[in-house]
């Protein structure tokens, strides 16, 4: 039986961990910009980078080079702090995704507390919007966060799939998927775009592809990890095929 084709879900390839490999030795390779070229050639729709406050992987120069060389649309993930908002307004990527940031975390743990930081998030959204940047908010699939994101009128919400990805058994995975689906449905009903990401790989993405109204997935670690064995082009192309077919590759 042929797998159903899922039209039009964008794939944002997060290249942070190409830069991680470089930064652990402070070499000038591997070059995340070169990785972005390969990712776009292999079927990515956009390039996602997280310019963390601690600069542990992506550096300003990487973001500037990506934008200067126009390799593909850039989705800049960033914390809601004044220097980053200012920097984003200067850099002017196509998209910004506002995320929470804690210095000691291994990766972005949990979504942005939009409801608890409404004033600061609203101010950042307004400035980024004025700079011509399309903003999304990275939130947990929780009613209060979705309602607040809707109230702020941002064009898109990225649902944090980390709890789904980390669920240890079938029933908790199912429960997390249900929470994601309910949140996605509310976002769609409000006329906003649904994005999703975090912890997705070749064995757990197929179920997420079926979320109501899903328009974009941002995937990094799983693709870069597979690229160690297959090369980056193949790793991105396999994820592209998996998303397009709504199946497993
Ligand atoms: N989306 C957002 C908002 C993120 O912060 C991250 C991690 O930087 C990702 C997607 C990608 O997560 P992963 O590397 O686990 O695929």
Kindly state the tokens that stand for 10.
């964008």
Which of 77, 101, 142, 158 is catalytic? The answer is 77
C-alpha 158 to ligand 1 mean position (Å): 10
Which of 17, 50, 160, 195 is catalytic? The answer is 50
Cβ(199) – ligand 1 distance below 6 Å: yes
pLDDT at 109: 75
* Terminal CA-CA length for the chain: 15
- The question of whether 221 is a catalytic residue gets the answer no
Residue in the structure block whose two tokens are 């995704």: 97
pLDDT at 122: 97
Atom of ligand 1 nearest to the CA of 138: 3
Atom of ligand 1 nearest to the CA of 17: 14
Beta bridge mates, 76? 49, 96
pLDDT at 172: 96
- Residue 213's closest CA among 199, 192, 240? 192
- Residue 219's closest CA among 8, 1, 16? 16
- Residue 99's closest CA among 124, 132, 119, 69? 124
Question: pTM for this structure?
Answer: 0.94
Which of 17, 195, 198, 216 is catalytic? The answer is 198
Consecutive sets of 10 residues in the chain, 249 residues long: mean pLDDT of each?
64 98 97 98 98 94 96 97 95 97 72 93 97 97 95 96 96 97 97 97 96 97 98 98 79
- The question of whether 82 is a catalytic residue gets the answer no
Read out DSSP for the chain? Answer: -PPPP-TT-EEEEE-HHHHHHHHTTT-S-S-HHHHHHHHHHTT-SEEEEE--TT-SS--HHHHHHHHHTT-S-EEEEE-S-HHHHHHHHHH--SEEEE----TT-SS--S---TTTTHHHHHHHHHHHHHTTPEEEEEE-S-HHHHHHHHHHT-SEEEEE-HHHHH--SHHHHHHHHHHHHHHHHHHHHTT-EEEEESS--TTTHHHHHTSTTEEEEEE-HHHHHHHHHH-HHHHHHHHHHHHHHTS--
Handedness of CA 146, 125, 8, 35 (dihedral sign): negative
Cβ(219) – ligand 1 distance below 6 Å: yes
Cβ(216) – ligand 1 distance below 6 Å: no
Cβ(107) – ligand 1 distance below 6 Å: yes
The CB density around residue 101, as the number of other CB atoms within 10 Å, is 19
pLDDT at 1: 44
């Amino acid at each position: 039986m042929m797998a159903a084709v899922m039209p039009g879900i964008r794939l944002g390839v997060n290249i942070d961990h190409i830069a991680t490999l470089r930064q652990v030795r402070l070499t000038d390779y591997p070059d995340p910009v070169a990785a972005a070229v390969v990712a776009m050639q292999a079927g990515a729709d956009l390039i996602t980078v997280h310019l963390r406050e601690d600069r542990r992987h992506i550096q300003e120069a990487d973001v500037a080079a990506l934008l200067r060389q126009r390799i593909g649309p850039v989705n800049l993930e960033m914390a809601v702090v004044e220097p980053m908002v200012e920097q984003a307004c200067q850099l002017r990527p196509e998209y910004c995704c506002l995320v929470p940031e804690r210095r000691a975390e291994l990766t972005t743990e949990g979504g942005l507390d939009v409801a608890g930081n409404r004033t600061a998030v609203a101010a950042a959204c307004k400035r980024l919007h004025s700079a011509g940047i399309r903003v999304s908010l990275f939130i947990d699939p929780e009613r209060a966060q979705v309602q607040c994101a809707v109230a702020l009128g941002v064009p898109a919400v990225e649902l944090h799939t980390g709890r789904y990805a980390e669920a240890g058994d079938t029933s908790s995975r199912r429960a997390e998927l249900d929470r994601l689906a309910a949140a996605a449905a509310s976002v769609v009903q409000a006329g906003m775009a649904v994005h999703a990401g975090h912890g997705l790989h070749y064995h757990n993405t197929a179920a997420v592809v079926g979320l109501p109204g899903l328009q974009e997935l941002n995937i990094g670690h799983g693709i870069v990890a597979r690229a160690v064995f297959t090369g980056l082009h193949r790793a991105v192309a396999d994820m592209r095929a998996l998303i397009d077919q709504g199946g497993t590759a």
